Chains A and B, each alone.
Chain A
Amino acid sequence: MGKPADDFLLDVRGLSKHFGGIRAMSGVTFSIPQGSIISMIGPNGAGKSTFVNVVSGTHVPDAGEVHFKGEDITGLPGHVIAAKGIGRTFQLLELFDSLSVLENVMVGCHTRSRSGMLACGFSLLSALKEEKRIKEEAMESLAMVGLEGRAHDPIYRLPLGERKLVGIARALGMKPKLLMLDEPAGGLAAHEVEGLARLIHLLVERGLTLFIVEHNMPFVMSLSRRIIVLDEGMKIAEGPPEEVRANEEVIKAYLGEEVC
């Protein structure tokens, strides 16, 4: 913290991952500066989700390094990386279906609470106090995404758009420095996408750094400061939205598909 030399929050160098004979990602290198919105696009199977999984510790990379806040976090277990301040959402949500909306977000507060098994089981005062604090903080996260009214609903009563917001609120519960969103706009209606864009701007104003993996081109183009394009596991372009849009490699990768 506070090292002036580290103006990059996340620094990825030569990151590679293959599953058996399939090369999911090879030699990906780029950096994410503090307080910005960086996006990653690419055709299906380009390795975008693999990238998120490797950075968040779900998969261990085969080669390359990941530095977060100047610290080498390559290959650390997922729960350790999460505690260091990298929050994420999932393309397939992965919400905790047996918990209520509020409880889902309270799980997000796990790293910032300490009570042990005995303290919780015997309902010691310290545990109850902490529980109250977690509940308040979780409500704040829910309020930020506008779901405080659904706090006590079970997950299955929520439509897809709100479930995606629960995923974001849950990650916010961790008070992360870097938030990685895996296809946050996928399957959302137009007005929901607008709301999501407003939320993302709000989060950046509050000092968060966002990394977004997305298919929705207008969404990505309007939000991001920089865009990274992956194709077949390799970075083929990086730059501001206008530059990427004009890049021939990118157009070729999308095979004539009009890039916005």
Chain B
Amino acid sequence: MNGAPQSKLLWLVSIVAITAIPLVAGSYVVGVMCFIAIFGGLAVSMGLLLGQAGMFSLAHPVWFGLGGYVSGILALRGIAPPWLGSIIGAVFVGFVSYIIGAPLLRLKGYYLACATFGLLLIVQISLGQLGPLTGGHEGLMGIPPFSIGGFVLETDVHYYYLSWALCLACLWFLYNLMDSRMGRAIKSFSDSEVAAKSMGINVPQFKLKVFTLTAVMASLTGSVYTCYLRFAEPGIFGFPLQVQLMTMVIIGGGKTLYGPLLGGFVVMWLKELIHMYLGKVLPRMGAHVDALFFGVLIIVILIFMPGGLSGWLDRLLDLGRRTFGKTSG
């Protein structure tokens, strides 16, 4: 997929567009797009787990949060600058997710979901209770900004480029991965575990590898996020974030890699629109009005577009290719 000229062109166009946005758009748009890169990128690794590997894990915010906390604590105490802290955080999260994943991933389907939900609660409560280390429920305040070789990333635009670079790097890595023997193995065991085994694929080991890989990606994103906010508290790494990620994966479609990012784009902008306009129409509904809206949207998508927006787009493209296939080459 990655080797086709059309997709190379699509990559180029996306990169140019993303690079150009801060040059033409105002700070509001840049701010929202920055969050899209962070949460959309997080949804991409979540989508790989859920949609392609068929592993129903609810622990994604755990890795996001742990990465953010590790780099935040290290930077606050002056032990390591944020860039080094995020790498240390990623290694730490990779290690922890491997150790925890080994027993957890023996579970399947809803049992795995329940167990990872437990993990999510445990980590969130622990972050709140380990006051001296994590700052308790007030969280970490005044995390120093990212700096690389004397250059300090301070403005929204700086973080916009950093978070999009990370997001696209993860996406590029995953596209390569899914187009290789590893990716085929991942898809094969979500289709038929028994056949994958008899093809010589060590399924439990593969699940653990995918789980660890997505955890590391989430951890890196988390480090960028906390550095951008200059702040971390247990509440932002909880179940609501997981629900938001699942909304992105469902709306964008988890069977493709770009789907969750597209979902992130749609969800974040819809949220902005809702807060801007619906708040005026229904002033008494307050901040929770979007939950109602997204609930309805998820149901509609699941009924009419089970493959999400990207699944629908791909079907449209496939139809077009078959109709006009011979002429357009």
Number of interface residues of B (CB under 8 A): 29
Partner of A97, one of B191, B197, B203, B209: B191
Stretch at the interface among A31-39, A77-85, A248-256: A77-85
Residues of A within 8 A of B213 (CB): 117
A residues 167-181 with Cβ under 8 Å of B? 170, 173-174
Interface centre among A94, A109, A130 (most CB of B within 10 A): A94
Q: Is the beta-carbon distance between B177 and A121 smaller than 8 angstroms?
A: yes
Residues of B within 8 A of A113 (CB): 181
Mask of A79-114 contacts with B, CB within 8 angstroms, 1/0: 100110001101000111111000100111111010
Residues of A within 8 A of B182 (CB): 115-117, 120-121
CB A90 to nearest CB in B, in angstroms, measures 6
Q: Is the beta-carbon distance between B188 and A120 smaller than 8 angstroms?
A: no
Residues of A within 8 A of B199 (CB): 79, 82, 107-108, 110-111, 170, 173-174
Partner of B192, one of A77, A94, A116: A94
CB A151 to nearest CB in B, in angstroms, measures 14
Q: Is A75 an interface residue (CB 8 A)?
A: no
CB A220 to nearest CB in B, in angstroms, measures 23
B residues 187-209 with Cβ under 8 Å of A? 187-188, 190-192, 194-203, 209
Mask of B161-185 contacts with A, CB within 8 angstroms, 1/0: 0000000000001101100111111
Q: Is B60 an interface residue (CB 8 A)?
A: no
A-B contact pairs, 20 of them (CB 8 A): A77-B197, A78-B197, A79-B197, A79-B198, A79-B199, A79-B201, A82-B198, A90-B194, A94-B194, A94-B195, A107-B181, A107-B185, A107-B201, A110-B199, A110-B200, A116-B182, A120-B181, A121-B177, A127-B180, A131-B181
Which B residues have a C-beta under 8 Å from some C-beta of A?
2, 173-174, 176-177, 180-185, 187-188, 190-192, 194-203, 209, 213, 255
